Chain A
Amino acid sequence: MERVAIVGIGQTRHQANRKEVNFQELVYEAVSLALRDAGIGIDGIDNVITTCNDFWDGRTISSMATGDVSGARGKNVSAVEGDGTFGAFYGLTRILSGAYGTTLVTAYSKGSESVPYLITNAAFDPIYMRSLGMDMVTACALQARRYMKRYGSSEEECALVAVKNRGNALANPNAHQGMKITVEDVMRSRRIADPLKLYDLSPISDGACCVILAREDRASKITNRPVWVKGVSFCADAYLLGDRDLSECRALEKAAQAAYKMAGVQNPRKEIDVAEVSEAFTYQELLWTEGLGFCEKGGGAKLIASGATAREGNIPVNPSGGLMGAHPVIAAGLIRIVEAARQVRGDAGDMQIQRKVQLALAHGVNGVCGQSHCVWILGRN
């Protein structure tokens, strides 16, 4: 794979409700920050990819509203619908195809404007599932229990994710919800759908994110701290919940293996210095660390309990606070890319892990119960 780097990053301060801006203005904020970070003007951008979701935006063709604010006027522009990691993938291929030297990718969501259970209920098949009234929370609760039951993981062990990540988010100036909580706080929080309690859920946020990718020859002119794309892949599992074993994440395993192969990573547990994963619910961080090969199947609980995934641990996961810290839905994965890039650059501020970061991993999810995953490996060299 030809060398492409991330040369500019930007994200808004994610909040529960950004009343003073509409989603276009939110995107413009992130784009402005990314351009400033890269030290280039919009004319340095060859093409634009926006990542949108018509349901979360309350508009069909919401992509037509974000082109201008993403600087697409007069340029080639396209739009992906899915998590930001997928949008960034397309943006990457637009450079690798030889067509463009730089791509600007945006992703955003104004969760405050919508009714999440209606929006995620729309992901369920109209004939065979929708009338059951399931949404992302109840479906993931189903997966959580199935996963925990299979491997004997406890609610307290899952709660460690909320404690770690919300705690980590305190060091994240962009986070929506950093807080110091205990396992007891999580266990005492409102029960939504067993085993998920309020603090097992990530908070839905308003936020936008922007990443600028550049081919090597352009990257070297733009920045002296490029973050190289070493590997990327994605994969989707079967759709109907009963078609797959919810205690597994085979699609993530496949995507991760392909990304590792591209990056030349043979032992992820040792070679990945830091990981930013999309954990919309606490159990997901455990399951995704297994899918990523950081531990054996069912070993996610033991991994986090050992302290290995803490910021000071030897495989820090979500030092930024992850989705527990801020979850603007469609932007979530792109923000993971940004946070992973900051670790590689060494400018993650108080979130910076102690070890020098050679390889960082960023992960995004699309669909219900982690049906589709996208894995990025970023590197210093």
Chain B
Amino acid sequence: MKDFWSNVEPIIYEGRIKVPYSWQAGETASYFLTQLRDQGKIWGKHCPRCAKVLLPPRKNCPFCFVDTDEWVEVSDEGVVEAFTLVREGTPIQPLKPPFAYAVIRLDGASTGFVHVLSGVEPDNIREGMRVKAVFSKDRKGSLLDIAYFKPARS
């Protein structure tokens, strides 16, 4: 059997799965995204049971499993809780390395918001630093209507 393989040319068949998607955001995420697009505002949603302000907003609280109630405007500024500096990129990333992914606790939100950091020297990125959202000029109602977060002027 070993000899059989040595005479065979291995065929590699290249292919791609190209299924187009149109994900419905639902009412809750739609409000969040249109507010990003039209008002440059960031909104979280409040859980009546645990009083967390969920960001990104959810229709129900994942922890309590009850419907969230009030919309709560959340600041466009907050604290970096965790980050990683990307040095080797992939084609699907929104920025070219070096840039950072970060979990950001925006003022007023109870959960972390994952986004990207840019406009900052890599060596100057620290946990605990304050950052501020930079909105894209060309907003479409998507997460990247915030282009990135940069250091906030204190």
Contacts and interface: CB of A to CB of B under 8 A. Distances in A.
Chain A directly contacts chain B within the complex, with at least one CB pair under 8 Å: yes
Interface of A: 19-20, 58, 117-118, 121, 126-129, 131-135, 138-139, 141-146, 149, 190-196, 238-243, 246
Given A146-B82, A193-B84, A242-B55, A132 B112 contact: no
14 contacts: A19-B12, A20-B10, A126-B21, A131-B142, A131-B144, A132-B101, A132-B115, A134-B114, A141-B86, A146-B82, A192-B87, A240-B56, A241-B114, A242-B113
Contact of B62 (A129, A194, A196, A243): A243
B90 A133 contact: yes
Q: Which of A126, A141, A190 has the most CB of B within 10 A?
A: A141
B93 A142 contact: no
B111 A144 contact: no
B115 A193 contact: no
A240 B61 CA distance: 12
A192 B62 contact: no
What interface size band does chain B fall in?
35 or more
Given A118-B92, A126-B21, A127-B23, A193 B85 contact: yes
Contacts of B33: 127
A246 B103 contact: yes
B111 A193 contact: no
Given A146-B82, A240-B56, 15 more contacts: A19-B10, A128-B29, A129-B114, A132-B94, A132-B101, A133-B92, A133-B93, A135-B90, A135-B92, A138-B93, A145-B82, A146-B103, A239-B62, A243-B112, A246-B103
Q: Which of B29, B56, B113 has the most CB of A within 10 A?
A: B56
B121 interface: no
Contacts of B142: 131
A131 B143 contact: yes
A145 B84 contact: yes
Contacts of A142: 82-84, 101-103
B3 interface: no
Interface string B113-137: 1111000000000010000000000
